[in-house]
């Protein structure tokens, strides 16, 4: 069957983007961003706390880290759950030693399954970010708007109730969205999101319900991506994170403040053999002058008036 002639038509071939979510903008010619206290780097540490249901669906796609063995998958169900029982506390202890306040992106269902984890995160001075309901509830354009709205509302309700925080930040499971997800997020009181991987700085995204601030989240130096998609060793992860920091730090001298994003997973970096590599990364970054580590919500607040 030949392609229909519509395959050679390009209705949104025009200046700028092929959608209306945001305008094109060049990272290196924007007005420089200034961080509080004249910091050069805003360090954004986001630790994922995830629940992978035993019966998670395979369609239309699985989020990274999904169970992959024949049902019932004891192996990965329990391995991922390790992060919520042990790994997260190793990461929390390290962050406390360093005196860092950071963000934790948490599946809403964890608030009802393991409220003690939410208490530990909040007591540590950290920010709760909604990470969808669970890793089996991926957002995509095949969902009815009412169904997707219900997932978002439930995740936020659980996390707000358990944490006592406003919870205005969002990270979708697998960073997946449907066409309407940004509208539904704003409608439910979300003001910033970590899903899009196209920038090293915050920028404003348009939705029919109002603006949504897109916050940068590193994709390829995410601990889970490096370990389980690239299969690189822990020292290689450390090197890449340091190299990433070095370039952003250097650029901050000429182009204004940068965000250094460090995405972590409790079931990855919280492993016994890995957590000291996380310490090495944090020590390296914090050894530099002008590094401001803050919860993503505070970085968003500092950026909002400038973008």
Partner 1 sequence: MTESVNEIRPDLGLYDYLPWPGRPKITWPGGAKIAVWIAPNIEFYEYDPPNNPTRTPWARPNPDVLQYSHRDYGNRAGWQRMMAAMDRAGFRGSVSLNVALCDHHPEIIRACADRGWEFFSHGIYNTRYVYNMTIEQERAIIRDAFDTVRQHTGQELAGWLSPALSNNLWTMDILSEAGIQYTCDMFHDDQPMPVKVKTGRLISMPYSLEMNDVIVYNSQKVTPRHYGEIIKRQFDQLYKEGDESGTVMCIPLHPYLVGQPHRIEAFAEAIDYIAGHEGVWKATGREIAAHYHASGAYDAMIAAMAAHDRGTR
Query: Which positions touch partner 1 (CB under 8 A)?
Result: 1-3, 5-8, 10, 12-19, 24-28, 60-61, 140-142, 174-179, 195-200, 219-221, 230-232, 236, 239-241, 243-248, 251
Which of 2/99 has CB closer to partner 1?
A: 2
Calpha distance 307→304 (Å, rounded): 6
Write down the least CB distance from residue 245 to partner 1, Å. Answer: 8
Write down the least CB distance from residue 172 to partner 1, Å. Answer: 8
Would you call the peptide bond into 72 cis, given omega within 30 degrees of 0 as the criterion? yes
Write down the least CB distance from residue 199 to partner 1, Å. Answer: 6
Write down the least CB distance from residue 294 to partner 1, Å. Answer: 20
Write down the least CB distance from residue 2 to partner 1, Å. Answer: 5
Placement of tokens 């006592």 in the chain: 164
Which of 14/272 has CB closer to partner 1?
A: 14
Alpha carbon distances (Å) from 252 to 66, 139, 245: 37, 35, 10
Which of 71/231 has CB closer to partner 1?
A: 231
Which of 242/304 has CB closer to partner 1?
A: 242
Calpha distance 253→90 (Å, rounded): 34
Which of 174/257 has CB closer to partner 1?
A: 174
């Amino acid at each position: 069957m030949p392609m229909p002639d519509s395959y050679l038509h390009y209705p949104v071939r025009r200046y700028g983007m092929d959608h209306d979510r945001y305008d094109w903008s060049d990272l290196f010619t924007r007005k420089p961003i200034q961080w509080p206290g004249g910091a050069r780097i805003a360090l954004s540490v986001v630790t994922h706390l995830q629940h992978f249901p035993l019966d998670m669906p395979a369609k239309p796609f699985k989020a990274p880290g999904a169970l992959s063995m024949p049902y019932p998958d004891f192996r990965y169900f329990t391995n991922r759950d390790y992060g919520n029982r042990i790994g997260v506390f190793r990461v929390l202890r390290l962050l406390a030693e360093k005196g860092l306040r950071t963000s934790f992106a948490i599946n809403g269902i964890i608030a009802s399954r393991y409220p003690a984890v939410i208490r530990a995160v909040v007591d540590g001075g950290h920010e709760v970010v909604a990470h969808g309901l669970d890793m089996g509830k991926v957002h995509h354009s095949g969902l009815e708007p009412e169904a997707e709205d219900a997932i978002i509302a439930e995740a936020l309700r659980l996390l707000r109730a358990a944490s006592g925080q406003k919870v205005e930040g969002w990270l979708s499971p697998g960073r997946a969205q449907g066409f309407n997800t940004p509208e539904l997020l704003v409608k439910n009181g979300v003001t910033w999101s970590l899903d899009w991987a196209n920038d090293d700085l915050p920028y404003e995204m348009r939705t029919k319900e109002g603006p949504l601030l897109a916050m940068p989240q590193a994709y390829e130096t995410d601990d889970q991506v490096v370990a389980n998609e690239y299969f690189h060793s822990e020292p290689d992860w450390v090197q890449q994170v340091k190299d990433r920091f070095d370039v952003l730090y250097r650029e901050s001298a000429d182009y204004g403040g940068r965000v250094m994003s460090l995405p972590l997973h409790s079931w990855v970096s919280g492993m016994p053999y890995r957590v000291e590599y996380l310490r090495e990364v944090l020590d390296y970054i914090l050894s530099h002058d002008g590094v401001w580590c803050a919860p993503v919500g505070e970085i968003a607040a500092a950026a909002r008036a400038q973008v």
